[in-house]
């Protein structure tokens, strides 16, 4: 009987180790994907602000950002599955703020293509506001991840 109890304890310990590794990988992937998505949209914004850039360059960068969004979205889903709930909720908050950034940047890109210039002050301001607004959810996600991994001092 004691051997059976020992096996159950070992199986539980192994499960916890696997879950922690899964969570650590999912959290790291989300942080990486969010940084890549931000960087991709900053490249688009920089090009839109550059009077010498072309609509073709804007489109190429926007396509890269779209691909980065897909990776980010997948990473959010992985964190939601891995949990726990506070980390999943923080990931969803980060997703919403990154969506606002994505939307502001896409709207700016569309307006630039329509107007023939990326130098659209209102779009730039909206983009900068969305970029600033994503900082807190990003920090909150990282804090929730550290707590879930018992990495908080």
Mean pLDDT for the stretch of residues 89-103: 98
Query: CB-based contacts of 87: which residues, under 8 Å, 6+ apart?
Result: 23, 27, 79, 141, 144, 145, 147, 148
Task: Indicate whether 84 pLDDT > 90.
Answer: yes
* More confident site: 15 or 152: 15
Banded pLDDT at 153 (limits 50, 70, 90)? low
Q: What is the pLDDT of residues 99-117, one digit of tens each?
A: 999 999 999 999 999 999 9
User: From CA 71, how far away is CA 68, in angstroms rounded?
Assistant: 5
Catalogue all structural domains in the chain, each as residue range(s) with its CATH number. Answer: 2-148 (1.20.120.230)
Q: What is the pLDDT of residues 64-74, one digit of tens each?
A: 999 999 999 99
Task: Indicate whether 59 pLDDT > 90.
Answer: yes
- pLDDT in the model for residue 5: 85
| Percent of the chain whose pLDDT exceeds 90 | 90
Contacts 24+ apart (CB under 8 A), 39-47: 39/68, 40/64, 40/65, 40/67, 40/68, 41/65, 41/68, 41/101, 41/102, 41/105, 41/127, 41/131, 42/131, 44/105, 44/108, 44/109, 45/105, 45/108, 45/124, 45/127, 47/118
Q: What is the pLDDT of residues 9-50, one digit of tens each?
A: 889 998 999 999 999 999 999 999 999 999 999 999 999 999
Kindly report whether the global pTM for this prediction surpasses the value 0.75: yes
User: How far is residue 5 from each of residues 14, 15, 16, 28, 69, measured CA to CA in Å?
Assistant: 14, 15, 17, 35, 47
DSSP-assigned letter for residue 50: -
Mean pLDDT for the stretch of residues 82-87: 97
């Amino acid at each position: 009987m004691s051997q059976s109890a020992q096996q159950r304890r070992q199986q539980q310990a192994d499960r916890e180790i696997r879950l922690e590794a899964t969570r650590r990988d999912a959290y790291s992937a989300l942080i990486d994907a969010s940084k890549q998505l931000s960087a991709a949209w900053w490249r688009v914004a920089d090009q839109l602000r550059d009077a010498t850039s072309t609509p073709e360059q804007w489109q190429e960068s926007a396509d890269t950002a779209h691909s980065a969004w897909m990776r980010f979205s997948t990473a959010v889903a992985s964190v939601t599955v891995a949990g726990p709930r506070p980390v999943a909720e923080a990931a969803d908050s980060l997703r919403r703020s990154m969506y606002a950034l994505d939307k502001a940047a896409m709207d700016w890109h569309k307006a630039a293509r329509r107007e023939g210039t990326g130098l659209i002050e209102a779009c730039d301001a909206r983009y900068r506001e969305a970029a600033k607004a994503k900082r807190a959810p990003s920090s909150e996600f990282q804090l929730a991840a550290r707590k879930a991994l018992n990495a908080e001092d």
